[in-house]
A and B are shown apart, each in its own frame.
Chain A
Amino acid sequence: MTAPPGSSGGLPAAPAPDGPEATAPPADTWHRVHFISPLVRGWIALVAILYFVGRDWFEGLFSGGSRERGPLPEGIGLLVAGGIVLGVVVVVAAAFLVSWYFTRYQVTAEHVRVHSGVVFRQQRQARLDRVQAIDIVQPFLARIFGLAELKFEVADAGESAVRLAFLKLADARRLRATILARAAGVDPDPEHPEEAVEAPEREVVAIPPARVVGAAVLSGTTVALVVAAAVVTTLGVVLETPIIATSFIPILIGVVGAYWSALNTGYNFRAATSPDGIRMRYGLLDTRSQTVPPGRVQALSIQQSPLWRLKGWYRVTVNVAGYGASVSSEGQARATLLPVGTRDEVLQILALVLPDPGTPRPVEVFTAGMAGRDGAEGFATTPRRARWLAPLAWRRTGFVGTRTALLMRSGVLWRQLVVVPHERTQSLSIEQGPVERRFRVSNLQFQTTPGPVNPRVLLADSATAWELFHGQAARAAEARRRSGPEQWMKPVPGALPAAAATGTTEDTAATADTGAGEAGFTGDTGQTRHDDAGTPQDDARPAPGVRDVMPEVPLYAPAPGGTEEPADGR
């Protein structure tokens, strides 16, 4: 442990020209991550070395005492051993330090660049407006030091495009704000181009820890535990060997691990809306803060297991291009928009992802999708003639299209509702096997970016499926023409059709005005923005350019009381 501080003591001479704390940097300075990060990243290696050495030394202390060795040889041996250990530690630390020294990053107006590597050098450059998500991760040890890792995701579904580990938490936040502001297409303040304020956020969902515990208890893990207990007990009784109870230990370890993982990733979960998109924070020891900018959710799935039905809980997972299809618990947690929530919270999250549901009865339609069956709210289910192909699920399997999204419902015991915004449809295939042809039904499969959500419609009536197939291609093309720009706050010069000019847009503009007033947003830039805010924008999307106003929380109104937005679904 002595090496890193010692080495870092010699550092100021080297990185002085462009150190991390360089004062008033011009726009395109190169930065390094925080100098403690090699220690935080390499702590496992250091701990392992110290553990092995320490154990040897510790054991040697005892055995040496009992065997009455001569003090001198032991002293020399200790010195030699200590020297070797110190050497190894220094080499490891030096390796991390060199790697740290050669890793530099830069955020320009359009790109983020990272140079890394000593022997094999890598220069990576990612376009800011291609950002799919930004995470700030704080592993436990980094949290102790007040450090955080920044992850910048683009759509290639592999490793994070840019990982900066570690930065000071405040620096990471500032960097995220800068990246998001530039990615959003907001013109930088001409006087302080480096300073981008963090967009304000409004919390919409907070999950109490008790519910996270309850959700873990009511999960498949518990079922597995009960089944395992029953099997082990039965075996023990039948074979009359209580020793078999020891086989419980590995099961118990696995179960505790699963519970811990559920608790650690679901604890203190908070979702918020901000002009930069949806924000999520969660974590017990390791904390994570995710930002998914508007329009980055490719597909969304609402699931309910049989046990959760007792409490009326749902889980919401999403496909985001940058998150990929990781099966690790971390990857699953990242793709979870709501680990456990009630119906109202699910609708709230849906309203964030899909501000314009494209139907005058959103609450009824989504509720029918989550829990209903048969043709209520326009769902096209499996025709009666094909009921023997899916004797349980045929009344539930179905789909319905709104003006902005397609809803696919399936599952009787494990209920699922998949929502795909029309403009996010990648490609679509229709499939039919010989048996299905006999019953005149077809399967529809949507292709989307990798992730936990698999949007498909099974056993739909062939004629209806073809209608959807052709209609979907046209709807997707239309929705893409209407959808917001990649840089979500870039003003669009009059590209929006009259259909978007509904009552809700006026509301948005009005709230933007009041919000700006409240925030003391004055001056000439504010004035020009107000003009822009008058142009009809996508519902609940903030007015272009205005990033630091408190966002209005979009919410689906039930149909009978929904007098504010009667024009919406026409």
Chain B
Amino acid sequence: MRREPIDPSGLEWSRVSPKYLRVRLLGWLIGSVVWLVLASVPLVLRLTGLWDSFPPPVIAWGLPAVVLVIAVWRGVLLPRQVASIGYAERDDDLLVRQGVFFQRTMVVPYGRMQYVDVAVGPLERAFGICTLKLHTASPATNALIPGLPSEEGTRLREQLSARGEARLAGL
């Protein structure tokens, strides 16, 4: 994977499943179409002559154009965003990273984990992937690893639970 400047050196990042990109692209496609349809309503009204006085042409054309540009931009960015998601298991802690422009790397010591969630939505189930979330005593700990293959998610959950138990340290 592409090494970002914020990456710590000497770490082997595990990448998420390529299927996750497809899930995200599908979600992006559906979302973009819905937004585009909604944003095109003034334009359609104007073109069909149903209501040709209200939306000035700037808004009628500008709104869908802006939505289209944002959608395309997000679509172009999506593969890189998905590629930027990574996690690394170390002896004492788990590292999770994400983000292309706004990068974030989080370290969660195993002994701090209170519980581990594995969640699967309908779309994710169809592609055989899952989302894993770590919880510590702080609700601000937002350690989310999406797009794990199901068996990898199960393995990681068991592994994290076992390591958390071995290193459990109250609060």
Q: Name A residues whose Cβ lies closer than 8 Å to a Cβ of B.
A: 132, 155, 157, 296, 298, 321, 423-434, 437, 442, 445, 447-450, 462, 466, 469-470, 473-474, 476-477, 480, 483, 486
Chosen A-B contacts, 12 in total, with CB atoms closer than 8 Å, are A155-B171, A426-B112, A427-B141, A427-B143, A428-B106, A445-B140, A449-B138, A462-B6, A469-B107, A473-B93, A480-B111, A480-B169
CB-based contact A429/B105 at 8 Å = yes
List A contacts of B6 (CB < 8 A): 430, 432, 437, 442, 462
User: B119 on the interface (CB 8 Å rule)?
Assistant: no
Given contacts A155-B137, A433-B102, A447-B141, contact A427 B171 (CB under 8 A): no
- Please report which residues of chain B, range 74-117, place their CB below 8 angstroms from some CB of chain A when the two chains form the complex: 92-93, 101-109, 111-112
CB-based contact A486/B138 at 8 Å = no
Q: Name B residues whose Cβ lies closer than 8 Å to a Cβ of A.
A: 5-6, 8, 92-93, 101-109, 111-112, 136-141, 143, 169-171
Q: How far is the CA of A429 from the CA of B6 in the complex (A)?
A: 12
Given contacts A155-B171, A321-B171, A477-B92, contact A450 B104 (CB under 8 A): no
Q: How far is the CA of A509 from the CA of B93 in the complex (A)?
A: 36
* A421–chain B nearest beta-carbon distance, Å: 11
A454's nearest neighbour on chain B, judged by CB, is B140
Q: How far is the CA of A5 from the CA of B115 in the complex (A)?
A: 50
CB-based contact A473/B92 at 8 Å = yes
CB-based contact B111/A477 at 8 Å = yes
* Most central of A447, A466, A480 by chain B CB within 10 Å: A447
List B contacts of A447 (CB < 8 A): 136, 138, 140-141
* Most central of A423, A425, A449, A477 by chain B CB within 10 Å: A477
CB-based contact B138/A426 at 8 Å = yes
Q: How far is the CA of A61 from the CA of B142 in the complex (A)?
A: 65
List B contacts of A132 (CB < 8 A): 171
Q: How far is the CA of A426 from the CA of B137 in the complex (A)?
A: 7
List B contacts of A433 (CB < 8 A): 101-103
Q: What is the predominant secondary structure among interface residues of chain B facing chain A?
A: loop
* A235–chain B nearest beta-carbon distance, Å: 38
CB-based contact B104/A429 at 8 Å = yes
* A383–chain B nearest beta-carbon distance, Å: 16
Q: Which of A155, A427, A432 contacts B106 (CB 8 A)?
A: A427
Given contacts A155-B171, A298-B171, A448-B138, contact A429 B106 (CB under 8 A): yes
List A contacts of B103 (CB < 8 A): 431-433, 437
Q: How far is the CA of A462 from the CA of B21 in the complex (A)?
A: 30
Q: How far is the CA of A426 from the CA of B106 in the complex (A)?
A: 11
Q: How far is the CA of A155 from the CA of B137 in the complex (A)?
A: 8
* B108–chain A nearest beta-carbon distance, Å: 4
* Most central of A431, A445, A483 by chain B CB within 10 Å: A431
A477's nearest neighbour on chain B, judged by CB, is B92
CB-based contact A476/B136 at 8 Å = no
List B contacts of A477 (CB < 8 A): 92-93, 109, 111
Given contacts A427-B107, A427-B112, A433-B102, contact A469 B8 (CB under 8 A): yes
List A contacts of B102 (CB < 8 A): 431-434
List A contacts of B106 (CB < 8 A): 427-430
List A contacts of B143 (CB < 8 A): 427
CB-based contact B107/A428 at 8 Å = yes
B94's nearest neighbour on chain A, judged by CB, is A427
A480's nearest neighbour on chain B, judged by CB, is B169
List A contacts of B108 (CB < 8 A): 426-427
* B13–chain A nearest beta-carbon distance, Å: 15
A451's nearest neighbour on chain B, judged by CB, is B138
Q: How far is the CA of A476 from the CA of B109 in the complex (A)?
A: 9
Question: Besides the contacts A433-B101, A473-B107, what 20 more A-B pairs have beta carbons closer than 8 Å?
Answer: A155-B137, A425-B109, A426-B108, A427-B107, A429-B104, A431-B102, A431-B103, A432-B102, A432-B103, A434-B102, A437-B6, A447-B136, A447-B138, A447-B141, A449-B138, A450-B138, A462-B6, A469-B8, A473-B92, A480-B169
B11's nearest neighbour on chain A, judged by CB, is A470
B113's nearest neighbour on chain A, judged by CB, is A427
Q: Which of A434, A449, A466, A470 contacts B101 (CB 8 A)?
A: A434
CB-based contact B136/A426 at 8 Å = yes
Given contacts A321-B171, A437-B5, contact A430 B137 (CB under 8 A): no
Q: How far is the CA of A474 from the CA of B8 in the complex (A)?
A: 15
B134's nearest neighbour on chain A, judged by CB, is A427
List B contacts of A476 (CB < 8 A): 109
Q: How far is the CA of A431 from the CA of B102 in the complex (A)?
A: 7
